Amino acid sequence: MNLFQEAALIAGKDLRIERRARVVSQQILPFGLIVLLLFAFALDPDRGVLRRVAPGLFWVTVLLATLLAISRSFGIESENAARDGLRLSGLDGSAVFLGKAAALALELLVFEALLTFGVVVLFDVHLAALVPLCLATAAATVGLAATGTLYGVLAAGIRARETLVPVLMLPVVAPVLLGATRAWESSIDGPTSDAWPWVAMLGVFAVLFVGIGMLAFGPLLEES
Amino acid sequence: MPLVVRLRSAVCLLGRFPALAGVDLDVATGEVVLLSGGNGAGKTTLLRVLAGLVPLHDGEAEVLGVDLTRDRRSHRPRLSFVGQEAFAYDDLSVRENVRFAARISGRTDADADAVIDELELAGLADVRHGRLSTGQRRRLGLAAGLVRRPELLLLDEPHAGLDAPGRAFLDGVLGSAGREGTSVVIASHELDLVRPVASREASLVNGQGGGTLTGSPDGSAAGEVRS
């Protein structure tokens, strides 16, 4: 098997488990919608304010959901010592990283698509420029999934991993929150051309963390 | 007979606690070696060292021709470790778990289905691991280990939780291992069950083996321990 076949095996396994357990659809998605509603109650019933801050609220919600999805992704490897099974398999650490990150990214994309619908309906947002918006979303999602998978395995063997991952990860993904929010703002209200530098920045972040993850995941899995 | 395991003065620390404090062990091709010893003696740790899951702090260790002080990974595809956990996913069925174990080891779905039949798990093939009883989980763990067709089989308390047919199947596996050239190291408290099929027995006391362990695949059930 080559690297991508091995990654596809891991991603397929994670997605099959998610399809059975429905944690994203039955727990993380409702969580995201509740967060949106709470923001709406807390800020102002005036839709003008909500429309202005919608990109930031959307990406903060995605970030919180990402933390839950990471916990789930590595929680299944802790059940029945499955992580030892992965280590014993002899699979390339880079392939395991790519597979787990790809599955996480796909789950987040589904979550984001449904959350976008919620933002449009609840906050009366009009998505004007779809191309930069979709590219920014894709790049930000890959960046979040790669970073989350990396920090997930880093904390996998630690008892306090649920609280440690946010502390470690949130400062690192601050550029993703900033870039994705700005790209969305430009795609909704501002001139579309303002979105492209942010899309490029998100792309660089994603490539950087996919690269770091492919190099570091194997040794971190060994020590977890 | 070539050695598949060669440990000399192996020391393994778990934190600062010496889980293994100078163990010598040789296992030849096709041998079935019983590891005995009380709770906390280091049997599971020794199996994990052989699997490359925990590092050696000191001493020498060569498994399947690989020096574990330099490389703890490259021998893993050639061995199976059936631990007290099944290394399985609760939300996958028996068939999916065994097929996953087969695929990541370069085996086919047909190999997985054959092992499922052999272990009489066909009736449970579509049941999720999370819904299996303890004994059924042990069978699944054994199936996932055997589907890899290992050269070295590491078993940790393999009889625990198994019913009579499961134990009979396990005894069959152990009995045929030597003929097929598979070496087996079994950590067990159920000495009466394992001794009849073991080539020899090695005792661990507080993380220390009883000297250099010798014996041959066709030797007596309880092997010789030379201090």
Q: What's the structural domain count of chain A?
A: 1
Q: Is the pLDDT of residue A6 over 90?
A: yes
Report CA-CA distances (Å) from A144 to A148, A201, B9.
Answer: 6, 13, 46
Residues B198 and B158: beta-carbon distance below 8 Å? no
Report which of residues A50 and B144 the model is more confident about.
B144
- Measured between CA atoms, the residue of chain A closest to residue B85 is A80
pLDDT tier, A15 (very low <50, low <70, confident <90, very high otherwise): very high
Residues B87 and B75: beta-carbon distance below 8 Å? no
Nearest to B104 among A9, A20, A80 (CB): A9
CB pair distance less than 8 Å for A13 and B81: no
Please determine, for the modelled complex, whether the ipTM score is greater than 0.90. Answer: no
Report which of residues B129 and A41 the model is more confident about.
B129
Mean pLDDT computed over B175-181: 79
Identity (one letter) of the amino acid at A161? R
Q: Crossing angle, helix A93-123 and helix A3-21, to 10 degrees? A: 50
Residues B187 and B156: beta-carbon distance below 8 Å? yes
CB pair distance less than 8 Å for A90 and B83: no
Cα(B32)–Cα(B201) distance, integer angstroms: 9
Q: What is the pTM of this model?
A: 0.88
Cα(A184)–Cα(A81) distance, integer angstroms: 41
Q: Is the pLDDT of residue A44 over 80?
A: no
Could you tell me if residue B208 is left (phi over 0), alpha (psi between -120 and 50 degrees) or otherwise beta? Answer: beta
CB pair distance less than 8 Å for B77 and A222: no
CB pair distance less than 8 Å for B144 and A16: no
Residue-level pLDDT at B41 = 84
Mean pLDDT computed over A142-166: 87
Nearest to B103 among A9, A76, A222 (CB): A9
Q: Which two tokens stand for residue B176?
A: 């045929």
CB pair distance less than 8 Å for A85 and B87: yes
Distance, in angstroms, between B77 CA and closest chain A CA?
A: 5
pLDDT tier, A45 (very low <50, low <70, confident <90, very high otherwise): low
Summary mean pLDDT of chain A: 90
pLDDT tens-place string over residues B12-55: 888 878 888 888 899 999 889 999 888 888 889 999 999 999 99
Distance, in angstroms, between B47 CA and closest chain A CA?
A: 13
Could you tell me if residue B156 is left (phi over 0), alpha (psi between -120 and 50 degrees) or otherwise beta? Answer: beta
pLDDT tier, B208 (very low <50, low <70, confident <90, very high otherwise): low
Q: Is the pLDDT of residue A150 over 70?
A: yes
Q: Which of A45-49, B109-113, B137-141, B167-171 has the highest mean pLDDT?
A: B109-113
Distance, in angstroms, between A69 CA and closest chain B CA?
A: 16
Q: Which two tokens stand for residue B14?
A: 């778990």
B87 vs A: CB within 8 A: yes
Q: Which domain holds residue A181?
A: 3-223
Query: Residues B170, B175, B177, CA angle at the centre, nearest 5°?
Result: 95
B147 vs A: CB within 8 A: no
Residue-level pLDDT at A170 = 92
A76 vs B: CB within 8 A: yes
Residue ranges and CATH numbers for the domains of chain B are 3-88+153-226 (3.40.50.300)
Query: Residues B103, B105, B106, CA angle at the centre, nearest 5°?
Result: 65
Question: What do you get for the CA distance between the two ends of chain A, in Å?
Answer: 25
Q: CA nearest A122: which of A49, A212, A50, A208? A: A50
B89 vs A: CB within 8 A: yes
